Amino acid sequence: MPKQFRLKGSSLEAIRDKAVAQYGAGARIVAAEKVTNPGFGGLFAKDRFEATVEVPDGAASAGVGASVQAPLATATPAPGTAANAHAGLRRPAIAALLEQADQSELRLHGRGGGHGAASGSGHVPSAAAQAVEPVEPVPVSTARADFAGLLAQLGAEYGKPLAAVEPSLALPAGAPGEAVGQAKTRPKAPAPLTGAGDLVLLLGLGDDALGPALEMSLAAGGCDVRTSGKLTAFGHLHVADRQGATAARASAVATGQAVLLAFGLGSPRDVAGHAAVIASLGADQAWVVADARRKTDDTAAWLTALRNLTAVDALAVVGSQDTLTPGTVHGLGLPVGWLDGRKVD
């Protein structure tokens, strides 16, 4: 039976990374909320996110073992090892830049530098004399000759960047490099709508649509996430028909949010039975949630049936990190706009 854990973080991506690091790649977010700390009269106000993470059996123990061993990889190297090569970064040019910055800051604040506070005769000006003496502002500019000289010294000390290595062998036809070239020509997916009252429909088998809906909500700063079809979730209102969709829109307009509707299609054979309900919702944008771990032919079959019922704008893909063939989703005929919790640019 899957186990659930509660995690906190500054963003959804941070929580997702923490879940993968602690419990493995099978961990996924099933619920999330935004918590606001008002601070003191608005001072030090801060937002954070809390999410419920579901971990399949077997994945939790493996993730815990990996997290115990993780500190060993981040141990500080012993003195004299290759990691101490960074000590060589403290070179004269860096020191000169830091000293010049300190002196400029002191002059800008009307104070002499450490070496200029006393004259050659050892006489130290009184505080009253320093206060009366006008101090001209020192322009901070990278066009000065001494700054150019420091840059030249830095270039001489650290050398030139490495030249790019040209490939020595041509890739055969159908090689992975060819797929990279094809990716540049794929149509770009639209961004999820975030306007007040916009209704974005996410269609997926089982409960696949809920995770991307929550992720999109957090990425947008908070949306009204509801369920529909055969999907229900604790804490989320359910939209059953056009009347419910209209009410959700009206509520979202009042709060200045968009509506993200996670629609459960059930199994592939149930897709055709949702035609009337999907049409009645009148969504402004429709996404299909595809699991990259499923067979491409099976996904293509029910996706084709769904596209015969309603227009679909883009794909939201889950599970691409848990398969050896994550690129097969690009052959489904729709642009991928959301991939494992992140917007595809």
Looking at residue 303, its pLDDT comes to 94
Sequence-distant (6+) residues with CB within 8 A of 116 are none
Burial environment of residue 325 by CB neighbours within 10 A (0 to 12, 13 to 18, 19 or more): exposed
CA–CA gap between residue 303 and residue 317 (Å, rounded): 13
Contact 223, 193 (CB under 8 A): no
Quote the pTM value: 0.52
Q: Are strands 314-318 and 336-339 parallel, antiparallel or unpaired?
A: parallel
Instruction: Give per-residue pLDDT as tens, 44-56.
Output: 567 778 888 888 8
CA–CA gap between residue 86 and residue 173 (Å, rounded): 43
Burial environment of residue 207 by CB neighbours within 10 A (0 to 12, 13 to 18, 19 or more): middle
Structure tokens at 138: 């020192």
Query: DSSP character for 277?
Result: H
CA–CA gap between residue 106 and residue 295 (Å, rounded): 67
Query: DSSP character for 40?
Result: B
Radius of gyration of the chain (CA): 29
Whether pLDDT at 344 is above 50: yes
Looking at residue 248, its pLDDT comes to 95
Structure tokens at 345: 């640019």
Half-sphere exposure of 179 (CA within 13 A, CB side): 10
Instruction: Give per-residue pLDDT as tens, 78-103.
Output: 444 444 444 444 455 556 666 766 77
CATH assignment, 189-343:
3.40.50.300
Looking at residue 22, its pLDDT comes to 86
Between helices 12-23 and 210-219, what is the axis angle to 10°?
130
Contact 207, 231 (CB under 8 A): yes
Q: Which residue has the higher pLDDT, 257 or 114?
A: 257
Whether pLDDT at 314 is above 50: yes
Contact 272, 235 (CB under 8 A): no
One-letter amino acid at 128 equals A
Q: Which residue has the higher pLDDT, 180 or 56?
A: 56
Closest by CA position to 340, among listed 6, 9, 123, 26: 26
Burial environment of residue 25 by CB neighbours within 10 A (0 to 12, 13 to 18, 19 or more): middle
Whether pLDDT at 246 is above 80: yes
Contact 20, 58 (CB under 8 A): no
Instruction: Give per-residue pLDDT as tens, 125-152.
Output: 444 444 445 545 555 555 555 656 666 6
One-letter amino acid at 197 equals G
Looking at residue 157, its pLDDT comes to 55
CA–CA gap between residue 237 and residue 251 (Å, rounded): 12
Query: DSSP character for 38?
Result: -
Burial environment of residue 292 by CB neighbours within 10 A (0 to 12, 13 to 18, 19 or more): buried
Min mean pLDDT across 70-74, 159-163, 311-315 is at: 70-74
Instruction: Give per-residue pLDDT as tens, 228-239.
Output: 999 999 999 999
CA–CA gap between residue 149 and residue 62 (Å, rounded): 55
Q: Distance of alpha carbon 255 from its chain centroid, rounded?
A: 25
- Residue 325 phi/psi, 5° resolution? -125, 65
Helix (H, G, I), strand (E, B) or coil at 12: helix
Query: Would you kindly state where each structural domain of the chain is located, as residue ranges?
Result: 3-68, 189-343
Residue positions counted in the chain: 345
